[in-house]
Structure 1
Amino acid sequence: MIEVANRLHTVEEYYFSRKLREVNQMIASGKQVINLGIGSPDMQPPQKVIEAISNSLKDASAHKYQSYQGLPELREAMATFYKEHFAVSLNPNSEILPLMGSKEGIMHISMAFLNEGDEVLIPNPGYPTYQSVTRLVGAKTVFYNLDASNNWLPDIDALQSLDLSKVKLMWINYPHMPTGAQPSKIAFKSLVAFAKQHNILIVNDNPYSFVLNDNPMSILNIEGAKEVCLELNSLSKTFNMAGWRVGMVLGHSELISNVLKVKSNMDSGMFYGIQKGAIQALKCSKMWYVTLNSVYKKRRDLIWKLADALHCTYDKNATGMFVWAKLSANQKSEEFIDTVLKNNHIFITPGTIFGSQGEGYIRFSLCASLEDIEECIARITK
C-alpha cells in the first residue's frame, strides 16, 4: 500500500463521521433513532432564495467558471448585511471574500498565515476543526480553557501568563459553540488589545449570531479590530442553507488578499445560482428572523424539558441552535450518551468531542421537529 502523508497521523476521522455510521446501522436494523446531535437545519430556506436559484439557471453566465471573489453584487449584499446588522463598514471590493462555507475558510486562513512550528491558541471546549486544521498544516495547538465560571469567555490574565512568543493565530467563536455563551463588548475589546500587544491574528468564527439572539455582535465593530482580526460568517444556520455552502471571511484588505492567494489556488468560484440565492437571503426582512426564532424557541423549551428529564442543568440565557447541558455529578459524557442511544434510541452529542473541558456536559441540537423532541421526552420519562 502507498504510505500516507505524515500529516494524516496527526488527525482522526471526524467524530460525527464515525458515530453516524453506528447510528445508521441501528436505523438499518429497524431501530427508530432520533438524532439530536447534528446542527444541520431541517427547515427550508426563504422562498425567494429558492426562486432566485431556480430563475438564475438560464442566465448566460450560470454555468461558467465564476470569479474567485464572487459576484460583485454578492459582496455588496454582504457589506450591506454587516452594516445593517453589526454596524460594521466594509469595502466590498477588498475587505470581503465569499467562501464555499466558513469551514473552508478555517483551512484557507491557516494556510495563509501559519508556518510549520507556529503556535495557535484554540478554545477548549471549541469546534474540533480548529485543532485538526492546525495540525494538518504542521502548526502546534495551544489550548486555552473556557469554563462556566467565566461565562465561557477567554481569561486574558491566564493567556498573558503563557509563553506567547511563537503564537501566530488565535481562534475564538462567539456566540460560542457548543455552549451558546454570548460575548460582551468589553471581552472583545480586551481580546483586540491582547492581539495588538502580542502581534496575534484573532479569527472570530461567527455563524450563530441570529439564532435565539437579540444582540448580534461582530468583533470587527471594535475600534482597531481590523488591524489584527478576521471574522468568518455563514448563511448555513441563519437562512437554513447548510448544504449550499455559502460563507465569507471579512477584515482588512491586506489580510483578505493573503487568504485569496490560497483560495484562488485551491478552487474555482462558487456556483452562480447559489450566489444569486445568497444575495436574496442577505436581503431578508426582520420578519424572517422573527419567524425562524419562534420555531427554535418552541423547540428549545421542549429540549429544556428533555434535559430536566435527564437530570441535567443548563443556562437559559445561552443563545444559538444548541442546548449545552451539565450532567449530574461524576457522570461521563460519552458513557452517558451511549447509554441513552442504546436504551432510548436517542443520539445526543457528548461534550468531550469539543475538548477536555466538555467532560460532564452534553449538547442537544434544536434541529429536530417538535414531534421528535416530544417523542424523546416520552421515551425518557417512560
Structure 2
Amino acid sequence: MIQVANRLNTVEEYYFSKKLREVNSMIADGKPVINLGIGSPDLQPPQKVVEAISASFQNPNAHKYQSYQGLPELREAMAKFYKAHFSVSLSPATEILPLMGSKEGIMHISMAYLNEGDEVLIPNPGYPTYQSVTKLVGAKGILYELDEANNWMPNFDELEKLDLSKVKLMWVNYPHMPTGAKPTKYVFEELVAFGKKHNILIVNDNPYSFILNNEPKSILNVEGAKEVCLELNSLSKTFNMAGWRVGMVVGDSTHISNILKVKSNMDSGMFFGIQKGAVEALNCSTMWFATLNNVYQERRQLVWQLADALNCTYDKNASGLFVWAKLPEFIKSEEFIDLVLQENHIFITPGTIFGSKGEGYIRFSLCASTEALEEAIERVK
C-alpha cells in the first residue's frame, strides 16, 4: 500500500463534502430535503455578464493560455471597484492579483508566507479553510475566540496575553462569516496597529460586504494598512458567480509579487471569457446591489420566522448571506440539525463546523427560494 503524505493526517474531508452525500442520498430515496446549509447563490448573475462570456467565444484569444496576472482590463475594473465602493486606491499593475475564487488565495498566501512551525491566528468561530490550509502547509493554528458579548470582534487584551513570537499571519473575516457581524472602523484600526506592533500579516477575507449591508468597508481604508494587510474579495456572493470562480487579493505590491510566485506555478491563467464576464460584473451600477438585497431581505424575513419556529434567537442587525441563530440552552448543534434533517427534511448547518465557539448555534443560508422557505416553516410548525 502506498502511504499518503503525512499532511493528510492533519485534515479531514470538508464537512459539506461529507454531509451533502447524506443529503443527496436522502433526496435520491425520494425525501424532499430543503437545503438551507450551503451559501451557494441560486440567483442569476447580471444579464450583461452572461452575454459577455457568450460573446467572448468569438475572440481569437479566448481559448489560449491567459496571463497569470489576469487581463489588464480586469485588474483595471477591480481597481475602479475598490475606489468606488471602498475609497481605496490600488495600482492595477502591481497591487491586484485576480484569483480563481478567494478560497485558492488562502492557500497561495499561506504558501507564500508560512514555513513549517510558523504560527497563525485563526478566528473561532471562523471559516474552516483557514485551519485546514494552515495544517496542510505545516504551520500551527492558534485559535482566538470570538463571542456574542463582544459582537464577534477580536479581544485585543486577550490577544496581547499570547506568546506572539512565532505568529506570522492572522486571518480575519469582516463582515464575519458565519455570524454576520459587521466591522467598525475601530476594529480595523486596531487590527492594523496590532499587525504593525507584532510584525504580523493581517489578511481580511471580505466576500460579504454587499449582502444586506449598506456600509461596505475595507481594511485597506485604514491609513498605513498596506504595510501589514492584505484583503481577499470575491464575485461569488456579490454577483451570483460562485461557480465562475473569480476573486482577487489586493494589497502592497511586494506582497502581491510574492503571492504571484506561488500562483504562477499552480495554474495557467483564468479562462478569457470568465474574465470578460467579471469585468462587466464589476462595472454594474449600485442598482444591482439594491435589487439583489431586496430579494435577500424578503428571504431573511422568512428565515427569521423559521428560526422563531425552532425557538432560536438571532441578531437582526447582522449582515451577509446567512442567519446565525442561537439554540435554546443545553441543546447541541449537531444533534439538533440531524434531528431537523431526519424529521423535517431540512438541512441546516451546525455552528460547530466553524469551531468550538459555534456550539449552541446554527446557520441558515438565504440561498433558497421564498417557496422553499415557506415550505420549511410549514414543516416545522
Given the two structures, how large is their TM-score scaled by the length of structure 1? 1.00
Q: 2:343 aligns to what?
A: 343
Give how far 1:328 is off.
Answer: 0.2
Distance of 1:347 and 1:177 partners within structure 2: 18
Distance of 1:286 and 1:222 partners within structure 2: 24
Q: Percent identity?
A: 78
Please give the secondary structure, in 2, of the residue aligned with 1:110: helix
Give how far 1:317 is off.
Answer: 0.2
Distance of 1:287 and 1:253 partners within structure 2: 32
Q: Which runs of 4+ in 1 moved over 6 A?
A: none
- Deviations along 1:49-75, one digit per CA (max 9) or x if unpaired, are 000000010101100000000000000
Distance of 1:82 and 1:163 partners within structure 2: 35
Q: 1:143 aligns to what?
A: 143
Q: 1:280 aligns to what?
A: 280
Q: 1:113 aligns to what?
A: 113
Matched residue pairs, number?
A: 381
Q: 1:354 aligns to what?
A: 354
What letter corresponds to residue 167 of structure 2 in structure 1?
V
Give how far 1:248 is off.
Answer: 0.1
Distance of 1:212 and 1:28 partners within structure 2: 34
Distance of 2:51 and 2:28 partners within structure 1: 36
Q: 1:184 aligns to what?
A: 184
Give how far 1:358 is off.
Answer: 0.1
Q: 2:380 aligns to what?
A: 380
Distance of 2:96 and 2:60 partners within structure 1: 25
Q: 1:161 aligns to what?
A: 161
| Matching of residues 164-243 of structure 1 within 5 Å | 164-243=164-243
Gaps of 5+ in 1: none
Q: 2:291 aligns to what?
A: 291
Distance of 1:126 and 1:223 partners within structure 2: 26
- Deviations along 1:126-177, one digit per CA (max 9) or x if unpaired, are 0000000000000001000000000000011110000000000000000000
Distance of 2:2 and 2:283 partners within structure 1: 50
Distance of 1:198 and 1:308 partners within structure 2: 44
Distance of 1:186 and 1:111 partners within structure 2: 30
Q: 2:39 aligns to what?
A: 39
Distance of 1:232 and 1:5 partners within structure 2: 29
Q: 1:262 aligns to what?
A: 262
Please give the secondary structure, in 2, of the residue aligned with 1:170: strand
Distance of 1:339 and 1:222 partners within structure 2: 45
What letter corresponds to residue 43 of structure 2 in structure 1?
M
Q: 1:13 aligns to what?
A: 13
Distance of 1:268 and 1:175 partners within structure 2: 31
- Deviations along 1:48-103, one digit per CA (max 9) or x if unpaired, are 00000000101011000000000000000000000000000000000000000000
What letter corresponds to residue 375 of structure 2 in structure 1?
E
Distance of 2:92 and 2:145 partners within structure 1: 36
Please give the secondary structure, in 2, of the residue aligned with 1:347: strand
Distance of 2:135 and 2:247 partners within structure 1: 23
Please give the secondary structure, in 2, of the residue aligned with 1:23: helix
Please give the secondary structure, in 2, of the residue aligned with 1:130: helix
Q: 1:315 aligns to what?
A: 315
Q: CA RMSD in A?
A: 0.3
Q: 2:28 aligns to what?
A: 28
Distance of 2:3 and 2:153 partners within structure 1: 42
What letter corresponds to residue 379 of structure 2 in structure 1?
R
Distance of 2:76 and 2:369 partners within structure 1: 35
Distance of 2:329 and 2:266 partners within structure 1: 47
Distance of 2:84 and 2:379 partners within structure 1: 44
Distance of 2:64 and 2:215 partners within structure 1: 39
Distance of 1:150 and 1:270 partners within structure 2: 40
Please give the secondary structure, in 2, of the residue aligned with 1:116: coil
Q: 1:302 aligns to what?
A: 302
Distance of 2:376 and 2:278 partners within structure 1: 35
What letter corresponds to residue 299 of structure 2 in structure 1?
R
Gaps of 5+ in 2: none
Distance of 2:248 and 2:254 partners within structure 1: 16
Distance of 2:74 and 2:228 partners within structure 1: 25
Please give the secondary structure, in 2, of the residue aligned with 1:77: helix
Please give the secondary structure, in 2, of the residue aligned with 1:348: strand
Distance of 2:146 and 2:216 partners within structure 1: 21
Distance of 1:92 and 1:158 partners within structure 2: 38
Please give the secondary structure, in 1, of the residue aligned with 2:378: helix
- Deviations along 1:265-290, one digit per CA (max 9) or x if unpaired, are 11111000000000000000111000
Q: 1:68 aligns to what?
A: 68
Give how far 1:196 is off.
Answer: 0.2
- Deviations along 1:316-366, one digit per CA (max 9) or x if unpaired, are 000001000000000000000000000000000000000000000000000
Given the two structures, how large is their TM-score scaled by the length of structure 2? 1.00
What letter corresponds to residue 84 of structure 2 in structure 1?
E
Distance of 1:286 and 1:104 partners within structure 2: 28
Distance of 1:182 and 1:237 partners within structure 2: 16
